[in-house]
């Protein structure tokens, strides 16, 4: 375990590095989307390729959900900094593996390890933000984390399409950036001083139960239009890839605006914000269901994007903001697992609902109603005194 540092104050260099690390799971989630058709053609003779190729994109999210609690346990028990650096280097190794792997099955296995590394990276980055800062700055930087990752998703999607224009393997080179980022992390980050206390505390199951359950629902809502909007637009007659890309970028911009607004409204507390966010997201999905008119669909997508951009920092700040240092890694791991479980389940739920209801629009309407119901449950179950987002957590500030 590295020696805890007692006299350093985190600043812009540490924040930038932790935000860069936070973008790595986003890189894994969206970078390959544009090259999936090329991969499908390349592996057309491989049995089950029509199923295995899309799974290459989604399987990391499943293993983030499975691995994040264990990553949090390691971060609490041993060392956040060293786990982060090791995960960044391993992420580069496994992320670039498809450059030389020729078997679809071996590529899929490498993506499993990418997900495990992403679990450790996301857990450590979020935990260290909560460790290094407290109070209003912690709230502001957790909101900035969502803002930066949202913007990076749009950039990575475009970059993946550009790099994969000639060869589907080329985008995998970008995973090497994580190893480069690990070098300044090793120099400029440190294990927080509270780790010197060595206090062992139990898992925060009771404290994290409600935030984790709500976060699963939030993950489902957040990811729904990221996956489904292009299909909705196609069904409404918008088939030009540039037009679809522009509308998707507009929704991403709305998500970024919501995330950027979080610090200004955080004082209203988790209960109020969560209710508003789930209501707005639900109304946006219902708007999309209600019409084939493209301007109305765009309005619904922007409304949902804005709501989910505000939703993610609300959830993470509510979940981990008051945890003591000795439990913060595990609490963050549980929250990360809940978020990515919701994201993994989202397309599966939409697919199942589409099969039952007979149409994508109807399945979005069901999720819209579910979001409104979740808003009502939050309003009923979550009490104001326990829902503050502004109470500083214990630990370094």
Instruction: Answer yes or no: are the C-beta atoms of 91 and 131 closer than 8 Å.
Output: no
Count CB atoms within 10 A of the CB of residue 242.
7
The tokens of 73 are what?
């346990």
3-state secondary structure of 192: strand
* Burial of 213 from C-beta contacts in 10 A (0-12 / 13-18 / 19+): middle
Domain boundaries of the chain, sorted by first residue? 12-194, 205-386
What was the pLDDT predicted at 377? 94
Provide the CATH number for the domain formed by 12-194 in this structure: 1.20.1250.20
**Structure-derived torsion over alpha carbons of residues 84, 89, 91, 95, reported in degrees to the nearest 10:** 160
Eight-state DSSP code of residue 5? B
pLDDT value at position 233? 86
Kindly report, residue by residue over 259-293, the tens digit of the pLDDT. 889 888 988 888 999 999 999 999 999 999 998 89
Tens digits of residue pLDDT in 45-68? 888 887 788 788 778 888 999 999
**CATH topology identical between 12-194 and 205-386:** yes
Q: C-alpha 121: how far from its chain's center?
A: 12
- CA torsion, ordered 208, 64, 217, 295, to nearest 10 deg: 140
Beta bridge partners of 192: 5
Write down the CATH superfamily of domain 205-386: MFS general substrate transporter like domains (1.20.1250.20)
Count Cα neighbours of 144 within 13 Å in the Cβ-side half-sphere: 16
Per the confidence metrics, is the pTM higher than 0.95? no
């Amino acid at each position: 375990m590295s020696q805890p540092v007692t006299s350093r104050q985190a600043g812009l260099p540490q924040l930038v590095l932790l935000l860069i690390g936070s973008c790595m799971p986003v890189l894994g989630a969206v970078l390959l989307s544009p090259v999936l058709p090329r991969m499908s053609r390349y592996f057309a003779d491989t049995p089950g390729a029509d199923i295995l190729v899309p799974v290459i994109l989604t399987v990391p999210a499943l293993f983030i959900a499975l691995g994040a609690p264990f990553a949090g346990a390691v971060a609490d028990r041993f060392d956040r900094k060293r786990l982060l650096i090791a995960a960044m280097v391993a992420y580069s190794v496994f992320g670039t593996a498809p450059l030389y792997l020729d078997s679809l099955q071996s590529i899929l296995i490498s993506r499993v390890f990418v997900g495990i590394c992403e679990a450790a990276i996301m857990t450590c980055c979020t935990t260290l933000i909560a460790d290094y800062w407290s109070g209003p700055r912690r709230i502001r930087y957790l909101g900035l984390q969502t803002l930066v990752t949202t913007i990076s998703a749009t950039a990575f999607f475009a970059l993946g399409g550009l790099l994969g224009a000639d060869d589907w393997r080329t985008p995998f080179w970008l995973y090497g950036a994580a190893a480069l980022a690990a070098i300044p992390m090793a120099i400029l980050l440190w294990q927080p001083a509270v780790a010197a206390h060595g206090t062992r505390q139990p898992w925060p199951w009771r404290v994290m139960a409600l935030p984790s359950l709500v976060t699963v629902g939030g993950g489902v809502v957040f990811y729904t239009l990221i996956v489904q909007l292009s299909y909705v637009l196609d069904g409404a007659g918008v088939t030009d890839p540039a037009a679809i890309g522009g509308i998707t970028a507009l929704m991403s911009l709305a998500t970024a605006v919501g995330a950027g607004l979080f610090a200004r409204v955080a004082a209203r507390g988790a209960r109020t914000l969560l209710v508003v966010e789930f209501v707005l997201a639900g109304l946006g999905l219902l708007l999309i269901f209600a019409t084939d008119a493209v301007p109305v669909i765009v309005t619904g997508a922007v409304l949902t994007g804005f709501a989910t951009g505000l939703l993610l920092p609300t959830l993470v700040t509510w979940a981990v903001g008051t945890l003591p240092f000795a439990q913060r890694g595990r609490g963050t791991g549980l929250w990360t697992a809940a978020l990515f479980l919701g994201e993994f389940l989202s397309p599966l739920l939409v697919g199942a609902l589409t099969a039952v209801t007979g149409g994508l629009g109807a399945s979005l309407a069901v999720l819209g109603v579910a979001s409104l119901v979740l808003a009502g449950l939050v309003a009923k179950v979550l009490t104001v005194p326990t829902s503050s987002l502004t109470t500083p957590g214990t630990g370094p500030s």
